[in-house]
Amino acid sequence: MDLRSRSEESLQVVSVHDSRIDAAVAIEFKEAMRGATNNTNDTVVLDLSEVQFIDSSGLGAIVAAMKQMGQSRKLALAGLTPTVEKVFRLTRMDSVFPVFPTLDRAISELKT
């Protein structure tokens, strides 16, 4: 699971450089997210623009990543491709996470 993390405008941006977050990599994704987010208290923007497919296990792993960040920190999602967007919409998880069409929009709206 290739996650790349960087700081930008008081935010932490984590980009997923894989085309799938599915059952085969869900646990690995959750652990990689823990590693990428545990050194900061900033809001995290998860850039999903390269992810073409997510299943319910991948969705669960993103929820788990949000929960392990704790109550005080926000996890926002950016760049959802059509099938990823469909999974979030059908499960109504798009109402749990702040969702932005692009990473640029997320950064411009979330920066403090």
Partner 1 sequence: MTRTTFLPAFHVSVTNGQMAVRDALKQLLDGLKPLALDVEEAGTVELVMAEALNNIVEHAYSKGDTVGQIRITCEHGRDGLRMTVMDTGRAMPEGQTPVGKAADIDVDLCDMPEGGFGWFLIKDLAKDVTYQRHNTENQLNLRLAVAVG
Token pair 């405008």 is found at: 9
Q: Count the residues in the chain.
A: 112
CB of 56 to partner 1, least distance (A): 4
- Pick the closer one to partner 1 by CB: 54 or 107: 54
| Contact present, 22 and 52 (Cβ < 8 Å) | no
Beta carbons of 77 and 99 less than 8 angstroms apart: yes
Applying CB under 8 A, the span of 9-17, 41-49, 62-70, 98-106 interacting with partner 1 comes to 62-70
Kindly tell me which residue out of 5, 50, 53, 98 binds partner 1, with binding defined by CB under 8 A. 53
Q: Is the dihedral of CA 46, 51, 4, 63 positive or negative?
A: positive
Site for partner 1 in 19-38 (CB under 8 A): 20, 22-24
Rule CB under 8 A: is residue 50 a binding residue for partner 1?
Answer: no
C-alpha to C-alpha distance for 16 and 50, rounded to whole angstroms: 7
Residues that bind partner 1 (CB under 8 A): 20, 22-24, 53, 55-57, 59-61, 63-64, 66-67, 71, 82-83, 86-87, 90-93, 95-96
